[in-house]
């Protein structure tokens, strides 16, 4: 049989995953028509404007090059589904807030609604690809939903094709991925569907980087990859506490350890804690899965990675309070960086949020600056965390247009995100406008500690003992 030729792709969900991924597919496959759909009209309008809904270096250029040619953004979900040969499901799968598995399991409601829509609207056979991070065996439930609701003559092949892009480097990661993983059932039609998707990617990725595996291995590999990356960060962060207590430098330790080719140098940067939409969610998913499989020791092991991350954020916030002579009540604290990492406007699980709330609970006044995050997003994050009403905290929070403005008269400057521009601020001027002693807390080990000390700042850096 001739391989299935993919001519039209529909992507359900125009978020951080679906948007960049399918925009790059459109750019690299001019012969394929790609339609990205979402229920959120404002989001689709933004994708169709000059002001894209997400900030991602290189994304503007990709969208401009393909939009209107073979890349389309629409809220007409049904039409795009009906026309497509292959459908990516890239909807959100947040951690459940209530019911069984609350706080751990993934909320698959959006995924199931999208799957039902595919079954109801399709009048021809489709390849359905799960892109969203999902618990193991989700493909099985998608298949059941599709088969139970399909029209006569329509068949569905389900593939798992997890996304490994990191925000901030999404376009580079998509252009040149370490690997593309495609999981399928090992039946003939499963293998054919897998081949069809492989042919899409092989327009720009060499086939030795496209790994084809079983469905469940693919689903578990995504959780495993994120859990192991997060585990490295929690490991180096645990060591950072020892470094602070002993006078060792965590950067030196990470460098020495990372030079062992079996360990490797990446993902060993100590920090104020990891954030982002994936790491915590995926580990909690793994914990839930392990518990469901009656593997309590395995669950405990992975849970500790998240607990260490919580401890690191808390430890850093406490250090600020301790250093400011055990009270920050009424004091102004500048928070530089609100995104969960540099080069993104995404704030999901950003350590800044819990640190800001710690300071607010100590009755400090905080001034926040981030080059990409909007003021309305910051308010949403502040009030959603612990369901705090906005009114009582409003007088204590100022959102600033520049780092200089945020730092003016601050008794402590706290770096939470490693934006490059923080390295080149006019620190002399900032110092001149700070009360004495002037403190900088570097939660990202990014500033020139010696230069700041020379200006007059007292610098406290994660993972660096005072004796260094
Ligand atoms: C992650 C995975 O890297 C990606 O493969 C997956 O598809 C989605 O989840 P992302 O969350 O976008 O990507 O960013 P990542 O670069 O992994 O950073 C996650 C968090 O870890 C950030 O808060 C970052 O600041 C922090 N981090 C990362 C560290 O604290 N130290 C490091 O050495 C690396
Ligand atoms: P991710 O980071 O996983 O891409 P996002 O929250 O950024 O997550 O994006 C997911 C998108 O999926 C949202 O814009 C949401 O509106 C959209 N979405 C959720 N359910 C559906 C659905 N049934 N049909 C179309 N779009 C959906």
Q: Compute the average pLDDT of residues 325-335.
A: 97
Residue 370, pLDDT > 60, answer yes
Among 11-15, 37-41, 138-142, 239-243, the range scoring the smallest mean pLDDT is 138-142
Q: Is the CB of 91 under 6 A from ligand 2?
A: yes
Query: Do the Cβ atoms of 11 and 37 come closer than 8 Å?
Result: yes
Ligand closest in space to the Cα of 349: 1
H-only helix segments in 247-265: 250-258
The partner residues of 9 in beta bridges, in order of sequence, read 34, 86
Ligand 1 atom closest to residue 278's alpha carbon, by position in its atom list? 9
Ligand closest in space to the Cα of 94: 2
Residue 389, pLDDT > 90, answer no
Mutate to test the pocket of ligand 2, among 22, 36, 38 (most ligand atoms within 8 A of CB): 38
345 is in an annotated binding site: no
270 is in an annotated binding site: yes
Q: Is the dihedral of CA 112, 115, 121, 123 positive or negative?
A: negative
The model carries a pTM of: 0.94
Give the mean pLDDT of the chain.
94
Query: What are the structure tokens assigned to 146, written together?
Result: 């599709």
Which residues are tagged catalytic?
A: 278
Residue 117, pLDDT > 60, answer yes
Digit-coded pLDDT (tens) for 234-277: 999 999 999 999 999 999 999 999 999 999 999 999 999 999 99
Query: What are the structure tokens assigned to 197, written together?
Result: 């998707």
Q: How far is 430 from 290, CA to CA, in rounded Å?
A: 50
The partner residues of 37 in beta bridges, in order of sequence, read 12, 74
Ligand 1 atom closest to residue 233's alpha carbon, by position in its atom list? 31
**C-alpha 344 to ligand 2 mean position (Å):** 18
132 is in an annotated binding site: yes
Ligand 2 atom closest to residue 19's alpha carbon, by position in its atom list? 4
Residue 293, pLDDT > 80, answer yes
Q: How far is 369 from 392, CA to CA, in rounded Å?
A: 21
Q: Is the CB of 411 under 6 A from ligand 2?
A: no
pLDDT of residue 468: 37
Residue 431, pLDDT > 50, answer yes
Residue 299, pLDDT > 60, answer yes
pLDDT of residue 2: 67
Q: How far is 264 from 257, CA to CA, in rounded Å?
A: 8
The protein residue with its alpha carbon nearest to ligand 2, atom 25, reads 38
175 is in an annotated binding site: no
Mutate to test the pocket of ligand 1, among 54, 233, 272 (most ligand atoms within 8 A of CB): 233
Mutate to test the pocket of ligand 1, among 276, 346, 350, 415 (most ligand atoms within 8 A of CB): 276
Mutate to test the pocket of ligand 1, among 229, 268, 417 (most ligand atoms within 8 A of CB): 229
Q: Which residues have CB under 8 Å from 377's CB, separation 6+?
A: 338, 345, 347
Confidence of residue 1 (pLDDT cuts 50, 70, 90): low
Query: Do the Cβ atoms of 344 and 169 come closer than 8 Å?
Result: no
Maximum C-alpha span of the chain: 77
Confidence of residue 104 (pLDDT cuts 50, 70, 90): confident
Digit-coded pLDDT (tens) for 218-237: 999 999 999 999 999 999 99
Q: Compute the average pLDDT of residues 140-155.
A: 88
pLDDT of residue 206: 97
The partner residues of 439 in beta bridges, in order of sequence, read 412, 458
281 is in an annotated binding site: yes
Q: How far is 410 from 421, CA to CA, in rounded Å?
A: 19
**C-alpha 273 to ligand 1 mean position (Å):** 10
pLDDT of residue 233: 98
The protein residue with its alpha carbon nearest to ligand 2, atom 8, reads 92
Burial letters 173-182, b for 16+ CB under 10 A, else e: bbeebeebbb
Give, for 47, the enclosing helix (H) or strand (E): helix 41-47
* CATH number for domain 8-205, candidates 3.90.1570.10, 3.40.50.720, 3.90.79.10, 1.10.10.10: 3.40.50.720
Query: Do the Cβ atoms of 231 and 280 come closer than 8 Å?
Result: no
163 is in an annotated binding site: yes
Beta strands in 106-179 (DSSP E): 126-130, 156-160
pLDDT of residue 61: 98
377 is in an annotated binding site: no
Among 2-16, 77-91, 454-468, the range scoring the smallest mean pLDDT is 454-468
Digit-coded pLDDT (tens) for 391-415: 788 999 999 999 999 999 999 999 9
pLDDT of residue 83: 97
pLDDT of residue 467: 40
Residue 107, pLDDT > 90, answer no
Query: What are the structure tokens assigned to 276, written together?
Result: 């982002």
CA proximity to 3, closest of 188, 184, 209? 188
For domain 278-461, the CATH superfamily is: NAD(P)-binding Rossmann-like Domain (3.40.50.720)
Query: Do the Cβ atoms of 412 and 327 come closer than 8 Å?
Result: no
Residue ranges of the chain assigned to CATH 3.40.50.720: 8-205, 278-461
Distances (CA, A) of 146 to 86, 107, 110, 113, 122: 14, 19, 15, 11, 10
Radius of gyration of the chain (CA): 24
Q: How far is 121 from 149, CA to CA, in rounded Å?
A: 10
Ligand closest in space to the Cα of 274: 1
Q: Is the CB of 17 under 6 A from ligand 2?
A: yes
Three-class SS state of 330: coil
Ligand 1 atom closest to residue 349's alpha carbon, by position in its atom list? 23
Backbone angles phi, psi at 36, to 5 degrees: -100, 125
Residues with CB under 6 A from ligand 1: 163-167, 226, 229, 233, 267-269, 271, 274-276, 278-279, 340-341
Burial (Cβ within 10 Å: 0-12, 13-18, ≥19) of residue 396: middle
Three-class SS state of 354: helix
């Amino acid at each position: 049989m001739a391989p299935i030729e993919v001519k039209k792709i529909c992507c359900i969900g125009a978020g951080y995953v679906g948007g960049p991924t399918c925009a790059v597919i459109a750019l690299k496959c001019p012969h394929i028509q790609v339609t990205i759909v979402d229920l959120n009209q404002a989001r689709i309008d933004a994708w169709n404007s000059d002001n894209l809904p997400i900030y991602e270096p290189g994304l503007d250029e990709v969208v401009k090059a393909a939009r209107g040619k073979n890349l389309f953004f629409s809220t007409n979900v049904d039409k795009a589904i009906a026309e497509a040969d292959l459908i990516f499901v890239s909807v959100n799968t947040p951690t459940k807030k209530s019911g069984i598995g609350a706080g751990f399991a993934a909320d698959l409601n959006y995924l199931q609604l999208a799957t039902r829509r595919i079954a109801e609207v399709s009048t021809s056979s489709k390849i359905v690809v799960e892109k969203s991070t999902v618990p193991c065996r989700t493909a099985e439930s998608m298949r059941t939903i599709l088969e139970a609701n399909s029209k006569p003559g329509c068949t569905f092949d389900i593939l798992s094709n997890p996304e490994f892009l990191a925000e901030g480097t999404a376009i580079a990661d998509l252009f040149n991925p370490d690997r593309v993983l495609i999981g399928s059932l090992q039946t003939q039609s499963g293998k054919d569907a897998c081949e069809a998707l492989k042919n899409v990617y092989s327009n720009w990725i060499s086939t030795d980087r496209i790994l084809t595996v079983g469905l469940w291995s693919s689903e578990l590999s995504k959780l495993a990859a994120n859990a192991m990356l997060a585990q490295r960060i929690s490991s180096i962060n645990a060591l950072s506490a020892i470094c602070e207590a002993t006078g060792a430098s965590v950067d030196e330790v990470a460098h020495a350890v990372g030079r062992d080719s079996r360990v490797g140098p990446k993902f060993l940067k100590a920090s104020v804690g990891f954030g982002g939409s994936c790491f915590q969610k995926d580990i909690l998913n793994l914990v839930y899965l392990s518990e469901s499989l009656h593997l309590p020791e395995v669950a405990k092991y992975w849970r500790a990675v998240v607990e260490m991350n919580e401890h690191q954020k808390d430890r850093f916030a406490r250090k600020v309070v301790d250093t400011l002579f055990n009270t920050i009540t009424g004091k102004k604290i500048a928070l530089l960086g609100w995104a969960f990492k540099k080069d993104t406007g995404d704030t999901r699980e950003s350590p800044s949020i819990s640190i800001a709330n710690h300071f607010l609970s100590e009755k400090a006044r905080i001034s926040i600056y981030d080059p990409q995050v909007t003021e309305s997003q910051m308010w949403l994050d502040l009030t959603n965390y612990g369901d705090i009403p906005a009114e009582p905290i409003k007088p204590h929070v100022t959102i600033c247009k520049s780092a200089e403005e945020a730092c003016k008269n601050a008794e402590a400057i706290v770096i939470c995100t490693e934006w490059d521009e923080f390295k080149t601020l006019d620190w002399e001027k900032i110092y001149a406008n700070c009360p004495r002693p002037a403190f900088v807390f570097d939660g990202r080990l990014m500033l020139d500690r010696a230069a700041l000390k020379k200006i007059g700042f007292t610098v406290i850096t994660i993972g660096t003992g005072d004796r260094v």
